[in-house]
Structure 1
Amino acid sequence: EINPFYRDVSIDNAWENVSKHSDPELWNLLTDNNSENPERDEQTDSDDDIEGNDKIKENEKKMSSVPYPTVMHNINGPNISANEIVNIAPGEGQIPVSFTSEPNWEALSFVKEYSTGKYHFNEERKVRITPSKYVHARLKCCDDRFASNPQYIFQSLDWIERNAVASTIYFTERKQFQSDINAGQLISQEHISRMMSADQVFASFKNIRGTPQYFHNMLLDILAKVRQFSVYTWWLTLSAAEFHWTEIIQIVARQYGENLTEEEINNMDWSQKCTYLKRNPVTVAREIDHIFKNIWGKVILSGMHPIGQILNYDDRREFQNRGTEHVHAPIHVINAPKIDEDSDDVVTDFIDKYVTCSLPNPTEQPELHALVKKVQTHHHTTTCRKKKGVTCRFNAPWPPSTKTIIAREPESIDSTKLATSKLILDKVLSTIIKIDDISVLTEREILEIAGVSENDYYEAVEYVQKKISIIYKRKPCEVNIGPYSTIILKILKSNMNIQFVTGLYAMLTYLTSYLCKPEHTMSELMQKASKEAYGKDIKGKMRDIGNVFLTKREVSTHEAIKRVLSLPLRHSNIDVQYVPTGLKENRTRMLKPQSLLEKMDPDDTNVYSLSMLDKYAHRPNNLEQLCYADFASNYISKKVDVDSENIESYTVPVSDVIQVPLNPNCIVLKDNLGQMRKRSRPCVIRFHKVSKLKNPESHYLRIVQLYLPWRNEDELKHQDGTYESKYKEVENEISVNRKRHEPYVDIDYEEIYNCDLQESDNEDEEQDPNFSMFDPNLIDYDEDVTNSTTSGPIAPT
């Protein structure tokens, strides 16, 4: 069958001569035929005789083995020669359209995939399908022509994320500060609303995964959990090992009718494994995601409790060096001891129970011994030397110790003693490195060889610490072994790292360095675009900012697959719900759709979509004594069942948080405002925290608003006209409610981190915890913007 787009195309058999004579320079470049003297080329030294070519060949071999390509957008524009004629305005007088709005763009762009020119997205169908579901079907199809083409994957990502940016603009245009206004004024062309600040516009992109605002939103959620559960217990890092997880290659091979054994896969060289992993990167990415899900669900969260009984975890997927994903996760463990609250012996016993740095006995546990040596032994790479003068930024090799120690920073530092301590430590570690068979020597024997006493050594180990640190129990032969959980490592069979959280400062350092770290360059570029868009309307500003996100970045194949298939970049077993607080006039609200406003009575003031505050005020009588905080953490809107195929949506909303089954108990809101369902497990609430010193009235309003039952917000003000007096009047009454949601309210992470949490005033109220793309027909918003003059979103470094 002839492709209809090429039916009238005739092939010129003399195309080679035409191309060669029309542009000889380009022809020579494309055909690599730019040698002027072939005879001279034949007489040149062979490649093997050229000095340094062994290294060149080795590098070329490594480059050819890189399994996954990345896409980088050209941000500098095309190169134009001086004698080239450029048409400046070829579309003058016409309306520009998006590339993907062309009727047959997909079939024309991917001729091989659409050889007949049929069945592309814009072809007429009886049932309408969303772009996201269409791409899901293409990439998950048994026909691998789409899944094996990185260009198609990258183009699909660009297509879907452009739609996500467009829907973000659609939402933001409907936001307005709450005020007494009617439908007639809103549809009037003369109506001018209070403009949102540049920071609020910038923060609107937080629902699009991968943006700096998305990671900042993650940071705020995690800090809300710290307020609820205190500091985390463990930091856990898990790495993917697709070259060693034989089941991945087996699954890919079965898709092509091949049945490979583990032995056959283990005998493959690097390039052979790369061939299979490149063959269907979608299957590989989905299988890696599946393996990590099983590690969480069937191991870490199971009754085995390999690192303790888990209360809460926050799993973030990262794509380091633009390759495959790995996991960063802070974890809360039930009844875990804390440094300075429990004795050091209790803490170290807890650590030793779940974490080890030991090298297993090769006779008793040969498989585990080989696995630890293979994946847990630290080898210095260029990553270790990111800073000049630093041998290893991970401080490997780590000092041996006969027991696990909690080392604290000395109260006062003597420079002479510090230099002596470093010298002692270097002497011991250098002695260990020089000895060939270190396994036969004990720590005492190593110290004797180094000429260091045991007391001096341990005093030096603790004195060189710049902060509270854990010195893990290690033998001299284990100084390069990273800490691990035996159970997790046996099942994961890949590199992992687990660290006990020493305190609040260490936790915040980890959050900003690993878990919630955005791409700094992207953050700077988007903020720059926001500033340069000064004077434009909301739509113009957001288009400029969104265009920066879409065009100035590098994305790996696996990251593109995760995004385009809506695979979560974040997991948690406990949801976080933002709740708006503060004065009415300082909260932004989501307006009802324009089509609905036009049908309303011009004098109707019910122009805003329902907010959580509205729903709480209209709760049923049996929940009369329930405070706002309890209501928001226990109840969720009951969504109307609709045919998602017929929704005019841009993307399929997929939550990045583990879905908790809903309790069948429903409540009916007053005045026919709908129904809500009770969660099977309360979520953590997040709110804008106001400084008691800078704005005492707003501070006390937030407390009584959250923890004192009310029907009308006007009830929250005391007879003397202040919220402080009302708080003092009901302080004992609301203390139990407040303790339930803010047991660690005294934790001052803002002062330690110097973190301006006022950014949370830009948050959406009625947003389910979907950290992926969203459907404009299913979400309504309500925001708290108490301080709209903040300096901008945090971009942690």
Structure 2
Amino acid sequence: MTAAQFVDQVKTNGELLEKRLCTMMNTVRGSNQYWYLRRSEVKRMIAEFGSPTFFLTFSCAEYTSEDIREYLHKVNTVPPSYNTGKLCTEDPVSVSRQFSLKFNEMFNKVLIKGQVLGPVSEFYYKKEYQARGAPHYHCLIWIANAPVVGESRAEDVVRFIDERVTCNIPNKDTCPQLHEIVTRYQLHKCSNYCKKKRKFSKNIFVTKCKFGFPRPVSEETVLKNVQQSMKAEKRIYHLKRSEEEVRVNDYNPLLLLLWKANIDVSFTSECSLALADYVSGYVTKAERGHMQDLWQDILDDRGIYSKLFRIGIRCLDSRPIGLYETCDILLGEPLCRKSREVSWIDVEMPHKRKRNLTKKLSEVEEIAANDPSTEDFYGEGLVTHFYPNRAQEHEAYCLYDFVAKLTYKGKDKNGERIYRPLQKEHLPNFIDFDVYKENQRDSFYYAIILLFVPFRNEDELVHDGETVQEAFDRHIVDHERCVEANEKFRKLLKCREKLKDIQDARAANREEENDVEDDDPQLMGQIKDAMNDVRDMDTGSEGNAWVRYSPLTRNADPNSPAIYLTLVNMNHYRVVTSIADKEIANTNNSGDKNTCDKKKDNKKNDDKKSDN
């Protein structure tokens, strides 16, 4: 787009320009846009490294964890008999910090250095919060040279699983500590949260656990058909399991002994990548929010700056946040971590590629008046400036290697750009075009050429009068990596076709479930479970474990007690209860008074009846 075309777009077709703007809020921790970007990164890791070997979950169990109890009593001046649940709500900062430090030690020293599950080549993990606010971690790890279902021999896969994962209830006499932990934390108890009604026949519905409990008894570990299992939302293998172990969650004995709270260890390595896509949604999913009004803000008649501001407000002020998550936000606790940095490359064709605007509109108008055809008002870009002007020593680097292996360090005295080798290579991320769709075919071939054919002048990649596919056929003669990328990308597309079939089958199953009249839906089940957790804590009114927090909140229920966390000198904190608590207390007192008045009236009526 030239300077004259840009000025014309701003003045006559601002709506079209708005649609071409980059995504907002993707750097705001915890926002939906933030997690959309993280999901894109995880998908690129799966495309590059294959399916992750294991999917792990580490729960907190803050009310029963001996580690947390000891730490809370150590940093707080309270008697030994003080209720742990109440102390958790009074000192959420310590709970959150202790849980994070415990996980980091477990992950770095036991999983990475200790190689309990094998040598970890890549990883990604996310800290998530349950409906009541309790934190837990979801992890994806890639084990070097691990077997893959669909590529490796079945007996090798089974042996690999059996050596690392079990559901065994240990003998109470020979392994008393592990027996206690398994029976205390690993036994699944179905609740309203996990129960689902499924259609069994025309007029018959059955209630099943969405986590598959009770799991089938099996004399040995058995592999199942991946695609059929995924369509039915079932596991791709069954562990060796006795009748007494049908409700035991899968675990690794050493990890469970060290963690001393609920964990889940699932083998996920299979060649179709369908299961990998499913679990990647778990570790990158955004929290549920209230974004119904967002589109109204986008479609109203306000100007572009007003719209962007209001959209930003909606993104920040869209959901309630638990007390522990509030602490993590204030303390700057990272929400996720991955084994390597992911760098974005815009591989769109030149006329579709996004570019950075670095000048004000008035400056662009002045430039357009002097030279309508110039494009010098754009900022420097990776594809247009940095890569074509690389140093001579990096002449053989294609764009993919340039991004993966080098980092920009500024300019020297002569104005030459300085690049340094990265200690650990970055992972380039880019759009995956579908070669089987006619409207994306040229973009598919152009992306491969752009990534893997070294160039100084982008215009020379495709000659005049030459189609993009003809240019691709010409380049593959001299560049083997173009051939490899073509085969790899096509394989990924085939995997996504299988995944689409699985998603369609699942959607059909859920439509049948939605037709069922359910008097106790899952959402109510989550609420009941959360309330039970609070009740079990045996705390007073000041021990409320839920907080509605947002720096721009305007949608909080005025009738619900709200607890806000305030940091003092970054070392101490205090919990401030809002005026809403007092209002509720007054309402309750008023209700008690009305009840007493009603009792007095009833007593008077009874006395009159007896007199008559």
The TM-score, its normalising length taken from structure 2, stands at 0.71
2:88 aligned residue (247, 252, 277):
277
Residue identity in the other structure for 1:236: L
1:426-445 pair list within 5 angstroms: none
Give distance in 2, aligned partners of 1:477 and 1:633: 51
- Out of 682, 699, 702, which is 2:444 matched to? 699
Does residue 511 (structure 1) correspond to residue 280 (structure 2)? The answer is yes
Q: Structure 1's 308 and 548: CA in aligned 2 closer, same or farther, altered over 3 A?
A: same
| Structure 2 residue 381 is matched with structure 1 residue 611 | yes
1:180 paired to 2:2: yes
**Equivalent position to 2:392, from 607, 621, 632:** 621
* Aligned counterparts, 1:440-455, within 5 A: none
| Aligned equivalents of 1:466, 1:550: Cα separation in 2 | 34
Distance 1:616 1:233, change over 3 A: same
Contact residue 575 and residue 683 of structure 1 kept, 8 A: yes
Give the corresponding residue for 1:364: 174
What residue is the counterpart of 1:492 in the other structure?
Answer: 259
Q: Which amino acid aligns with 1:587?
A: R
Residues 54 and 266 of structure 2 are in contact (CA less than 8 Å); yes or no, is this contact kept in structure 1?
yes
Do 1:357 and 1:483's aligned partners in 2 also have CA atoms closer than 8 Å?
Answer: yes
Determine helix, strand or coil for the equivalent of 1:590.
coil
Structure 1 position 558, deviation (Å): 1.3
CA distance in 1, matches of 2:387, 2:413: 10
Q: What corresponds to 1:138 in structure 2?
A: none
Using a 3 Å threshold, how does the CA distance of structure 1 residues 552 and 698 change in structure 2: closer, same or farther? closer
Aligned partner of 1:579: which letter?
I
* 1:688-727 pair list within 5 angstroms: 688-692=431-435, 693-694=437-438, 695-727=440-472
Structure 2 residue aligned with 1:209: 29
**Deviation per residue, 1:121-144 (Å, 9 max, x gap):** xxxxxxxxxxxxxxxxxxxxxxxx
Among candidates 481, 485, 493, match of residue 736 of structure 1:
481
1:691 offset after TM fit, Å?
A: 2.5
Aligned position for 1:679? 422
Match for residue 320 of structure 1? 130
Matched residue of 1:370: which SS? helix
CA deviations over 1:614-642 (Å, ceiling 9, x no partner)? 21111100000100011111123337xxx
The reply to whether residue 577 of structure 1 matches residue 343 of structure 2 is yes
Report % sequence identity: 23
Q: In structure 2, what residue type is equivalent to 1:751?
A: E
Task: Specify whether residues 305 and 566 from structure 1 end up closer, same or farther in structure 2 by C-alpha distance, changes over 3 A only.
Answer: same
CA distance in 1, matches of 2:226, 2:165: 23
1:218 aligns with 2:38: yes
Aligned pair 1:476/2:246, yes or no? no
AA paired with 2:408?
S
8 Å CA contact 2:7, 2:361 repeated in 1: no
AA aligned opposite 1:677: R
Amino acid in the other structure paired with 1:636: T
2:314 maps to 548
Q: Secondary structure at the match of 2:126?
A: strand
Distance 2:478 2:330 in 1: 50
Contact 1:529/1:545, CA 8 A, preserved across alignment: no
- Give yes or no for the alignment of 1:381 onto 2:191: yes
Distance 2:256 2:498 in 1: 34
1:237 corresponds, among 54, 57, 61, to 57
Counterpart in the other structure of 1:67: none
Q: In structure 2, do the counterparts of structure 1 residues 387 and 524 end up closer, same or farther at CA, with 3 Å as the change threshold? A: farther
Q: Which residue of 2 aligns with 1:403?
A: 220
Whether 1:289 and 2:100 are equivalent positions in the alignment is yes
State how far apart, in whole Å, the 2-side matches of 1:742 and 1:255 are. 58
2:399 matches 1:633 = no
TM-superposed deviation, 1:495: 0.5
Counterparts in 2 of 1:744 and 1:698: CA distance versus 1, 3 Å: closer
Alignment gaps of 5+ in structure 2: 199-205, 502-612
* Equivalent pair of 2:432/2:444 in contact (CA under 8 Å): yes
Q: Secondary structure at the match of 1:592?
A: coil
Task: Go from structure 1 to structure 2 and tell me whether the alpha carbon gap of 1:465 and 1:539 turns closer, same or farther (over 3 Å shift).
Answer: closer
Q: Distance in 2 between matches of 1:600 and 1:565?
A: 47
Residue 703 (structure 1) shift = 1.0
Superposed CA deviations along residues 504-554 of structure 1, whole A, max 9, x for unmatched, are: 222223333x2232245445543x235433x44332222232222233311
DSSP 3-state at the match of 2:279: helix
User: Mean Cα displacement is larger for which, 304-313 or 587-596?
Assistant: 587-596
Query: What does the per-residue CA deviation read over 1:63-92, in whole Å, with 9 as the maximum and x for residues that have no partner?
Result: xxxxxxxxxxxxxxxxxxxxxxxxxxxxxx
Distance 1:397 1:181 in 2: 66
Q: How far apart, CA to CA, are the structure 1 residues paired with 2:130 and 2:447?
A: 40
Alignment of 1:189-204 (within 5 A): 203-204=23-24
Instruction: Report the secondary structure of 1:701's partner residue.
Output: helix
Structure 1 residues 663-722: Cα deviation after superposition (integer angstroms, max 9, x where no partner) = xxxxx6898364333221112211112222323322221111110000111111124332
One-letter amino acid matched to 2:475: V
For residue 310 of structure 2, give the secondary structure of its aligned residue in structure 1: helix
Q: Structure 1: any 5+ residue segments left out of the alignment? A: 1-178, 412-461, 640-667, 756-797
- 2:161 maps to 351
- Any conservation in 2 of the 1:235–1:498 contact (CA below 8 Å)? yes
- Give the CA deviation at 1:352: 0.6
Conservation of the 8 A alpha-carbon contact between 2:222 and 2:238: yes
2:146 corresponds to which residue? 336
The letter of the residue matching 1:631 is: F
Matched to 1:529, the amino acid is: Q
Deviation at 1:295, TM superposition (A): 1.6
- SS of alignment partner, residue 238 of structure 1: strand
1:140-190 Cα offsets, whole Å, 9 max, x none, are xxxxxxxxxxxxxxxxxxxxxxxxxxxxxxxxxxxxxxx2328xx989998
Aligned partners of 2:418, 2:290: CA distance in 1, in Å?
41
Distance of aligned partners of 1:589 and 1:256 in 2 relative to their CA distance in 1, 3 Å threshold: same
Query: What is the Cα-based RMSD across aligned positions, in Å?
Result: 3.4
Deviations 1:580-624 (A, max 9, x none): 112223122222254996999876853333322221111100000
Q: Which amino acid aligns with 2:433?
A: V
Match of 2:110 among 275, 285, 299: 299
Q: Secondary structure at the match of 1:481?
A: coil
8 Å CA contact retained: 1:228, 1:741: no
User: Partner letter of residue 285 of structure 1?
Assistant: S
Stretch of structure 1 that moved more, 697-706 or 369-378:
697-706
CA 1:623/1:410 → structure 2, altered by over 3 Å: closer, same or farther? closer
**Match of 1:675, SS?**
strand
2:186·2:249 contact (CA, 8 Å) conserved in 1? yes
CA 1:688 to 1:744, structure 2 compared with 1: closer, same or farther past 3 Å?
Answer: closer
Q: One-letter code of the match for 1:728?
A: D
For 2:345, the aligned partner's letter is: V
Q: Secondary structure at the match of 1:554?
A: coil
Secondary structure in structure 2 of the residue aligned to 1:206: coil
Matches of 2:424 and 2:479, distance apart in 1: 22
CA, structure 1 residues 677+248, in 2 after alignment: closer, same or farther (shift >3 Å)? farther
Cα contact 1:315–1:570 (8 A) shared by 2: yes
Query: What SS class does the counterpart of residue 301 from structure 1 fall into?
Result: helix
Q: Match for 1:233: what amino acid?
A: T
Secondary structure at 2:217's aligned position in 1?
coil
How many residue pairs get matched? 483
